[in-house]
Homo-oligomer: A and B are copies of this chain.
Amino acid sequence: MMPSKKKLIKELENYFDRLWDLPRSITGKGFRDSLEIIRELMPHKVIKFKTGQKVFDWTIPDEWNPKEAYFIGPDGIKYADFSINNLHLLNYSESFEGTVSLEELKKHLYTLPNMPEAIPYVTSYYERRWGFCIKHSEYEKLPKGNYFVKIDTDLGKGSLNLAEAVLKGETDKEILFSSYLCHPSMANNELSGPLVLASLYKLIASIPKRRYTYRFIIVPETIGAISYLSVMGKHLKAKSIAGYQITCVGDSGAYTYKYSRQHDSLSDRVANNILKNIKDVKYRKFNPAIGSDERQFCSPGFDLPIGSLMRTMYTEFNEYHTSLDNKDFISFKSMAETTFLYFEFFQLIEKNFFWKNTVMYGEPQLGKRRLFDTIGAKKTTSELDNAMWWILNYADGANDLIKISDISEIDWKVLNEMAEILHDKGVLSYE
């Protein structure tokens, strides 16, 4: 049964709180533990790639597991304690222990001078470094003298993991939903993404019969998407008819839709059709320079039909990639609404038939089928009657429901209601 919005809001917050503190990265225990929690919402298979394995142009890196990290100043104060905020440790930092001068230490500190109260999120996946991220306000007050630095992390052979869940449908044509889970404690970018994806999974799974197959993946960003494509890209290229990258869906800002590279894919047409009824939507053309894993799915060799419905997009909010992208910044109500909007995308895809009128020559006699008032008089046409005429004329087997809705400017749900009535009466068929 489909959960109510109220119930969904609660559930989202509950899972958010449980996931918040886990020390995630592109590999390691934090990522795996997070997947295990999400498994409660979305049962899935875990796919593993071993350190050193080639995935297209990339190589799976060592697995990283942080244990402890801080530094102690000449004032005896403990700074940048990883156990308090996991953003303090440079993601993928190597181990280090020793005493260094303030000058030397500063070479390993990352701050945001323009946002002095924010801890930045910084990574160094593909080059070995050690370092800390702290507030710039704190950085400026560090006293002169020697600092004892302690970073204890494991970096060694292991694996990269990703989750895959598939809901089978009547056909093997597929819709892909993708999100990522490699960021430590940040809210809009990223915990909102996998939470909406997993909730959407639950909604779609509650539908007893589906026309299409739905594939859900949660990966470490970039390298995870590339790894998945290295084994499933060919399949996706053959089967995917639509899909969306789910990210930045947590705040209560206006919706943003980023088009797929094809710009008029089924994903884009569904989004255009549904979003035109919503105020203040921002549209962004496909942009390979800024984005998430849609950049991989839309790389030229694949060019998959993957768009992205977001709230406030990465790079369009100041808190992006800092400690200020936290629970205060997001809204579980908005997150639930976004989930239901994605669910409407699903509904339209399912109902987007190429209907065909069985009476192609002249209009059908509707009176005899009790489909139309037998009294002919001056009156306004009801929305449903209006929908009937548009469908009868345009259901020629070449126009899908979205096209008819776009041409007629009639809501797809009204058209679909009438199409199903006409189908029951034997006036419409489909292949």
Q: How far is the CB of A282 from chain B (nearest CB, A)?
A: 17
| 24 A-B residue pairings within 8 Å (CB atoms) | A57-B363, A58-B362, A59-B365, A110-B375, A122-B377, A123-B377, A124-B374, A125-B367, A125-B374, A125-B376, A222-B363, A233-B361, A261-B393, A288-B393, A288-B394, A289-B390, A290-B381, A290-B389, A299-B363, A299-B393, A301-B360, A301-B361, A302-B361, A303-B396
Q: Kindly state whether residue A414 has any CB partner on chain B within 8 Å.
A: no
For residue A322, CB closer than 8 A to chain B, the reply is yes
CB distance from A53 to the nearest CB of B (A): 13
Q: Is the CB of A394 within 8 A of B300?
A: yes
A interface, CB within 8 angstroms of B: 55-59, 110, 112, 120-127, 129, 222, 225-226, 229-230, 233, 261, 288-290, 295-296, 298-303, 320-322, 357, 359-365, 367-368, 374-378, 381, 385-386, 388-390, 392-396, 408
Q: Top 3 nearest A-B pairs by Cβ distance? A: A301-B360, A288-B393, A289-B389
Verify A225–B362 contact, CB threshold 8 A: yes
A363: chain B residues at CB < 8 Å are: 57, 222, 226, 295-296, 299
In the complex, which residues of chain B have a beta carbon less than 8 angstroms from the beta carbon of A290?
381, 389
Q: Are B376 and A122 in contact (CB under 8 A)?
A: yes
Contact residues in B for A388 (Cβ distance below 8 Å): 289
Residue of B nearest to A285 (CB): B407
Shortest distance in angstroms between A302's beta carbon and chain B's nearest beta carbon? Answer: 6
CB–CB A226/B362 < 8 A: yes
Give chain B residues whose Cβ lies under 8 Å from the Cβ of A386. Answer: 289
A362 touches B56 (CB 8 A): yes
Cβ of A332 to closest chain B Cβ, rounded Å = 25
Who on chain B is nearest to A125 by CB?
B376
Contact status A58-B300, CB under 8 Å: no
CB distance A367 to B126 under 8 Å?
yes
Chain B residue, CB-CB nearest to A374: B127
Cα distance A311–B376 in the bound complex, in angstroms: 23
Nearest CB in chain B: distance from A316 CB, A: 12
What is the chain B residue whose CB lies nearest that of A319? B378
Residues of B with C-beta under 8 A to A123: 375-377
Contact B299 A361 (CB under 8 A): yes
**How many copies of this chain sit in the oligomeric assembly?**
3
Q: Collect the chain B residues with CB atoms within 8 Å of residue A58's CB.
A: 362, 365
| Residue pair A124, B361 in contact (C-beta under 8 Å) | no
Bound-complex Cα distance A322 to B379 (A): 11
What's the nearest-Cβ distance from chain B to residue A354, in Å? 12
Is there an interface contact between B376 and A229, defined as CB atoms closer than 8 Å? no
Contacts of A396 in B (CB 8 A): 300-301, 303
For A368, give the chain B residue with the smallest CB separation: B126
Contact partners of A300 in chain B: CB under 8 A? 357, 360, 393-396
Give bound CA distance, A122 to B359, whole Å.
27
Query: Bound complex: CA of A395 vs CA of B299, how far in Å?
Result: 10
Inter-chain CA distance A388–B381, complex, in Å, is 51
Cα(A222)–Cα(B229), bound, Å: 57
In the bound assembly, the distance between CA atoms of A32 and B389 in angstroms comes to 31
A301 to B390, CA, bound (A): 15
Q: Which of A229, A376, A390, A396 has the most CB of B within 10 A?
A: A376
A125 contacts which chain B residues (CB < 8 A)?
Answer: 367, 374, 376
CB contact under 8 A between A296 and B394, given known A367-B126, A375-B124: no
Shortest A371–chain B CB gap in Å is 12
Across-interface contacts of A378 in B (CB, < 8 A): 112, 120-121, 320-322
Which single member of B59, B124, B301, B389 contacts A288 (CB below 8 Å)?
A: B389
A367 to B57 CA separation, bound complex (whole angstroms): 11
Measured CB to CB, the nearest residue on chain B to A357 is B300
Give the complex CA separation of A125 and B322 in angstroms: 72
CB of B57 within 8 A of CB of A229, answer: no
Chain B residues with CB below 8 A from A367, complex form: 125-127
Shortest distance from the beta carbon of A422 to any chain B beta carbon, whole Å: 13
* Contacts A362-B225, A393-B261; A120 near B321 (Cβ below 8 A): no
**Known interface pairs A288-B392, A301-B360; 17 further A-B residue pairs with C-beta atoms within 8 A, sorted by A's residue number:** A55-B362, A56-B361, A57-B359, A57-B362, A57-B363, A57-B365, A58-B362, A123-B375, A124-B376, A126-B368, A225-B362, A230-B361, A288-B394, A296-B363, A299-B362, A300-B394, A321-B378
